């Protein structure tokens, strides 16, 4: 199935509307959603889902928005689902997003901001050159774009509206779900799998066109706190314990070649995401990642041992660590269920997209959902260079993602 120009325009305008809605999440918060601004996006989707004709549309007390596309076949067909998250990453400014649309991209540098000279260049960001002749949507250089994952939200909503508007297309009942807080690892924590009702689902939360993923990192977050002793520097000899200096020493104690910038493929890492420090106190926040379960356990043990060594060196209770698991590699949840992947792969081919089956160097809500009884591989949403001002998405990739959704629905009903 192909979306004509009318539907492509709907998809574009929907996406441009979504990214302007401020919805950044916050890992420091203990509420769900973690930020009040996410409610604006949830409420917008709730109303829009009702308006386009989804049935049984609900929004729960935690900002999870569900709706259902009624079946158009009489026979028994597996109920499947499509899921995306509507929060934006807290890694960069997500407020005041001002998207720019570059039609018929000519392959040259894109001057995103005339005042600052901020430029997106294919020389530095080589993926950009792949999309010459296409429509590119970028930031204005002052915010992220939030294509992660509002591109996925827009693709699902457009496909849902298309199916409702074309009841001659044969498909079973389809569950649609949008959730908060994926960017802080909590998107699936309060997802009601039973209410969602699908036998399996797909998250539309991947990167460039063609990506299909059912392997991901095992993931944990670690917080290391270091306690110092502040004394007037004129009288500090033999007394002061500078927590800021100890934090720097601790960071250097982890392997320098096991960071995101020095690893690839199936290699794991320790990633220092935030450091705050003064003489009295310091806090280092890490994410720990590895595809291999045994190596993942070794990584958690290793960083814990570094804390223990610190306390032996500088005194008991100088440092403490808290490790919280975030998600697990979902690969083993697809044993005996590879038809789920096969449907997605064939749907891509039917849309003229070459599947690129790979492991995620990250995670999605689907990883957690797969362990909650809802097998949930990840399909491309089309974006590049997420979580920063260089983020962009080609409209044509988004169109293909929506067509893949339509094709999956059709293929499952035909099986």
Which residues are known to be catalytic?
87, 182
Question: Are the C-beta atoms of 87 and 38 separated by less than 8 Å?
Answer: yes
């Amino acid at each position: 199935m192909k979306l004509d120009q009318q539907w492509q325009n709907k998809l574009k305008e929907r996406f441009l509307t979504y990214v302007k809605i401020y919805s950044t999440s916050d890992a420091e918060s203990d509420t769900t959603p973690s930020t009040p601004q996410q409610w604006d996006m949830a409420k917008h989707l709730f109303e829009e889902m009702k308006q386009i004709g989804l049935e049984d549309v609900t929004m729960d007390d935690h900002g999870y928005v569900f709706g259902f596309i009624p079946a158009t076949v009489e026979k028994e067909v597996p109920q499947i689902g499509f899921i995306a998250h509507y929060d934006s990453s807290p890694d960069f400014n997500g407020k005041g997003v001002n998207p720019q649309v570059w039609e018929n991209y000519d392959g040259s540098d894109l001057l995103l901001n005339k005042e600052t000279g901020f430029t997106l260049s294919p020389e530095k960001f080589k993926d950009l050159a792949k999309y010459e002749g296409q429509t590119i949507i970028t930031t204005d250089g002052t915010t992220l774009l939030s294509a992660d994952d509002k591109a996925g939200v827009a693709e699902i909503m457009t496909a849902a509206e298309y199916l409702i508007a074309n009841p001659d297309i044969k498909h079973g009942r389809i569950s649609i779900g949008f959730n908060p807080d994926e960017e802080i690892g909590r998107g699936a924590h309060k997802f009601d799998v039973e209410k969602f009702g699908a036998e399996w689902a797909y998250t539309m939360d991947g990167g460039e066109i063609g990506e299909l993923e059912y392997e991901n990192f095992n993931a944990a977050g670690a917080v290391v706190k270091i306690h110092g002793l502040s004394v007037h520097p004129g009288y500090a000899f033999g007394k002061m314990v500078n927590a800021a200096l100890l934090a720097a020493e601790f960071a250097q104690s982890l392997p320098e070649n096991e960071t995101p910038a020095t690893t690839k493929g199936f290699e794991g890492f320790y990633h220092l995401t935030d450091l705050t420090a003064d003489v009295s106190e310091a806090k280092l926040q890490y994410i720990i990642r590895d595809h291999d379960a045994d190596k993942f356990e070794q990584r958690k043990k290793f960083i814990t041992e570094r804390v223990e060594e610190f306390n032996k060196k500088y005194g008991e209770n100088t440092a403490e660590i808290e490790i919280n698991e975030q998600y697990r590699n979902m690969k083993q949840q697809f044993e005996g269920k590879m038809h789920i992947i096969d449907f997605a792969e064939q749907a891509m081919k039917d849309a003229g997209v070459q599947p690129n089956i790979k492991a995620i160097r990250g995670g999605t809500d689907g990883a957690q959902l797969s362990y909650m009884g809802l097998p949930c591989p990840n399909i491309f949403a089309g974006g590049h260079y997420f979580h920063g001002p260089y983020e962009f998405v080609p409209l044509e990739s988004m169109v293909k993602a929506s067509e893949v959704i339509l094709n999956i629905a059709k293929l499952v009903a035909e099986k």
